[in-house]
Chains A and B, each alone.
Chain A
């Protein structure tokens, strides 16, 4: 926007254009009783007829003549009076011009300030937008890191629980292995007796008795039956282990949660400590799309927690496992009448790394990982516990969750 400086010094010709001069000239000439002319500051005529020898009166706006009023007919007194009147008019016009130019300049200044302000705002908005984008990026990175950590943690815990399971299995398998091995040793001794019999067959009756082969004949079927039983137990344990860990199945499958519970129970029952009883009350459930391997581990851990709580209480107790289907969802309840948790322990129970037990003694999955698995199945886990009374874990799964 081009603006006229408000403080410029105006020329007469700028203040009054030809039309204004043509309007004011005739009445001026009339007042001056004859002729009149209006000259610019350099003496050039703007209006009227310049009669040689006419009187001129300066028209001063500030301190210098801005032009002249000229007349040959008027008396000096009249010419002066007319010039003063005309000057008043010119000054009023100059004031108006200056005021409007200043107004325009001020408005332009304000507008420039506004534009500057606006540009500053835009810049700061852009800065904030960039910042928020960066923030989002940073959050995304953090979330990814957290997920990775969680996954690592979960894998580590899984390994730990698998390791613990394997230790339990080894212990269980050792027992049948022990007596199968010892039986086979005994049978080898028995065979030695038969070998010793061969050279003495002439005196067979005496030898038979010396070698006590009646007893051998009697004991051998028992030993073999024992061995069969032991091998069967080993086979069952291995089968349980296989189906528990789902090493032979894809991750997602249609499964009955009762089957998962039964697997967990059967794995645990093999090493149930004295004074702890497992009671199951499993009601028919519809099949669920789920990851049975993961759920097995969750149930295993929760039952182990219950057993541990009973052992920690120093009293005999029982872990009750109940399942049922309602129209809304599938519900599983695990209750133990063990040591229970304080309000503080309860509040922190789902925190990763939180344990009330000595490091290394945690049983399988932590509650935080258990909860993550349940959440991944669209389910919910809640805890109720009172110190000295026991703990109840409530699980809910939506029907048919994928």
Chain B
């Protein structure tokens, strides 16, 4: 559940995935590409070899016609296997998740294990995995050994989650992935939070408010 305080509503989104799949890169590109009314700096916590140690954070926000401040806080988890405890803690209280998979053929096992660990961790931290807004992004489409899109679509045909094919390094489909999650998030929460009725925020307004007019 998003955190409600007088005058503001905060959603927590988490970029989850195996080590080095491009979660931090996604966040950095989003920071460049988005232009919402309010945009903070990316807070990164990396070791010297660019691996996330605790988390990265990108804060965004816009004000609704009702005066309500909608805040989004985008986190990334550390992908390295050793940091499972940290991943679990970062995942707690998430309102939506982007799973960033590595498209490289030799990363298929890592993707599978990370996805399973995400499902397990959701249960452990009390998240309803079946109903959690979740987008699966296959990143690094530019790699020569990327698994072909048709093969991936075939394999995930029976899964309920939207798939995105991105190249975070070049900034491709990073915003699209984010937008897909925003729409799931809105549909999941609009009614219970009375976003449309009380605050006058439609799905389009929600999306454009966070992506920024120019995008």
Contact = CB atoms under 8 A, between A and B. Distances in A.
A91 B43 contact: yes
A99 interface: yes
Interface string B73-116: 10100000001111011101100000000000000000000000
Interface centre among A60, A61, A62 (most CB of B within 10 A): A62
A113 interface: yes
B40 interface: yes
A1 to B, nearest CB: 13
Q: How many A residues touch the partner, as a band?
A: 20 to 34
Interface stretch (B55-63, B162-170, B196-204): B55-63
Interface in A1-32: 5-7, 9
A106 B86 contact: yes
Nearest to B69: A64
Contact of A63 (B59, B83, B84, B85): B59
B31 interface: no
Interface in A59-76: 60-64
B43 A63 contact: no
A316 B84 CA distance: 88
A277 interface: no
Contact of B40 (A7, A60, A103): A60
B132 interface: no
A98 B89 contact: no
Q: Is the interface of B mostly helix, strand, loop or mixed?
A: strand
B71 interface: yes
A372 to B, nearest CB: 60
A105 interface: yes
Interface centre among B40, B88, B89 (most CB of A within 10 A): B89
A201 B45 CA distance: 152
B89 A63 contact: no
Interface string A56-96: 00001111100000000000000000000000000100010
Interface centre among A60, A63, A95 (most CB of B within 10 A): A63
A5 to B, nearest CB: 7
Given A7-B93, A62-B59, A99 B45 contact: yes
B12 interface: yes
B38 interface: yes
Interface string A159-179: 000000000000000000000
Contact of A102 (B43, B54, B61, B84): B54
A310 B12 CA distance: 98
A107 interface: yes
Nearest to A100: B54
Nearest to A87: B41
Interface string A95-130: 100110011011101100100000000000000000
Interface centre among A5, A6, A91, A98 (most CB of B within 10 A): A6
B40 A106 contact: no
B86 A63 contact: no
Given A63-B60, A91-B43, A106 B38 contact: no
Contact of A106 (B39, B41, B71, B89): B89
Given A95-B43, A107-B85, A63 B61 contact: yes
A259 to B, nearest CB: 81
Nearest to A101: B89
4 closest Cβ pairs, A-B complex: A106-B85, A62-B59, A105-B89, A63-B38
11 contacts: A6-B54, A7-B57, A7-B90, A63-B71, A64-B38, A91-B43, A98-B55, A102-B55, A103-B54, A105-B92, A109-B89
Interface of B: 8, 10, 12, 38-41, 43, 45, 54-55, 57, 59-61, 69, 71, 73, 75, 83-86, 88-90, 92-93, 124
Given A64-B61, A105-B89, A107-B85, 12 more contacts: A6-B90, A7-B73, A61-B40, A62-B57, A62-B59, A64-B71, A91-B41, A98-B55, A98-B57, A102-B54, A102-B55, A106-B89
